[in-house]
Structure 1
Amino acid sequence: MIMQRRTFTGSPIALQGPDRFADRMRRISDGLLDEGALVTTNWRINGGRAPWFALRVWTGREKAVENSLTAMGVQSLVPMRKGPDLRRRGRVIEGQMMPVIHGYVLVQMVALAEYLAGLLGVEHVIDVLGGCERPMRLSDKEISRFNALARNGDYDWERPVALVVRAGDPVWITAGPFCDRKAVVVTPSKKGRGDVVVSIDFMGGQVPVTVPLALLKKL
């Protein structure tokens, strides 16, 4: 006959002390980010060029994530453009600034998985594009070019574009985190300006992304 033990000694792991598990994980993430930022800074001082990566974040929280990373000493960037103008009672109200590509924040950091994993502890961050082990790298040159085009107004919502695309059309993305990738138009723009939704074949799956029409080239 097997006797069943009904009592246990000791305390469950992660329940001792006043700290919550989530709090300890956040401290670990913050520590990794601090270390990664320091390593990246030293890299730049010594003439190195750390690669850039794209973080997928909650739409509408791009600047909040950028500000959080900047406060931690992590180089980050959200290229911005002017949004659609509002027309009310014959008046035109200029559009507010908005991200060129919604739901993404660019970061520059030494390409070590443990440092990139620390980014996942930042509020509103969903994941690293491509994963922490094999993330999609972006060159410093391409990020500078993309940001310069955005600041120049090339991706402003109201800027007319001499390009007509229909649902199902194959297109080429010309700049940004998905530069030089093929996509398929899902929801086109019929006004010759503004945004379109495209589907990008990435890591064996389809990634829907909303991008400016001006960011595309028809194949």
Structure 2
Amino acid sequence: MTMQRDKFEGIPIGVARSESFEYRMRRIRAEMLPAASLRTGADSPWFAVRVMSGREIAVYEALDEAGIEAVVPMRMGPEYRRRGRKIPASKIPVMTGYVLVRFFASDQAFLAIRGFEHVIDVVGGCMSPHRIPDSEVKRFKALADGGDLNWERPVTVFKRGEKVRVSDGPFASFSGEIISCRNDGKGDAVVEMHLFSGTVPVLMPLAILEKI
């Protein structure tokens, strides 16, 4: 005969302290921050952190304030025209939805990074994070600072459905398929890429794409 139990032992996470999920994440982040702020060598690899679109600078500033090394390569965005008036281009992140972060890799450090507001995850996950060579990050930032990745700069014209390979940046050597882009060789393209977590659409500059 099978006996059924109508009670359980233990206390649900957070109930004992009446913690909300947001408060609990802030507490965990605060406890783990010292691990994430440990500096590495000058040639140590970087990690790509996926963040909410439009929150790249906010995440960068929060990381920087916490003493964590981070960078968001910037470029000149598009020019706009409204009611016949030309609005000059302004600086925007090269990679929408991503911040590059460098720290001494540990479980505690990854938990701290994931606990920041607007952070979605570390590319590749905590178990097998995608490591980006320092030389590639320096090269990518130099291209951005030199204007080679500016939105208005014409490059190769791509079409929807074309197979491409990423030439520079955090996803250099990865390949994918163009989902959408302009037909004048300017701006960005939505590329469906096969990353560690599966197929993911990524918005990236046409300037770092090559046809294959």
Shift of 1:153: 1.0
Listed as ranges, the matches of 1:11-50 within 5 Å are 14-17=14-17, 20=20, 22-37=22-37, 39-40=38-39, 43-44=40-41, 49-50=43-44
Partner-residue secondary structure (3-state), 1:157: coil
Larger radius of gyration: 1
Contact 1:173 1:217 in 2 (8 A): yes
Match of 1:206 in 2: 199
Partner-residue secondary structure (3-state), 1:118: helix
Structure 1: runs of 5 or more not aligned: none
Q: Take 1:21 and 1:204, find their aligned partners in 2: how far apart are those partners? A: 25
Asked if residue 68 in structure 1 is aligned to residue 44 in structure 2, the reply is no
Q: Take 1:186 and 1:12, find their aligned partners in 2: how far apart are those partners? A: 44
Q: Take 1:185 and 1:96, find their aligned partners in 2: how far apart are those partners? A: 26
Instruction: Please tell me the root mean square deviation across aligned C-alpha atoms, in Å.
Output: 2.6
Counterpart residue type for residue 167 of structure 2:
T
Q: Take 2:26 and 2:46, find their aligned partners in 1: how far apart are those partners? A: 23
Structure-2 change in CA distance of 1:203 and 1:12 (3 Å):
closer
Asked if residue 159 in structure 1 is aligned to residue 153 in structure 2, the reply is yes
Contact 2:81 2:87 in 1 (8 A): yes
TM-score, normalization: structure 1? 0.86
Partner-residue secondary structure (3-state), 2:59: helix
**Percent identical residues:** 44
Contact 1:189 1:213 in 2 (8 A): no
Contact 2:154 2:186 in 1 (8 A): yes
Q: Take 1:210 and 1:145, find their aligned partners in 2: how far apart are those partners? A: 20
Contact 1:52 1:140 in 2 (8 A): yes
Q: Take 1:126 and 1:57, find their aligned partners in 2: how far apart are those partners? A: 5
Q: Take 1:118 and 1:103, find their aligned partners in 2: how far apart are those partners? A: 19
Structure 2: runs of 5 or more not aligned: none
Shift of 1:26: 1.7
Asked if residue 92 in structure 1 is aligned to residue 86 in structure 2, the reply is yes
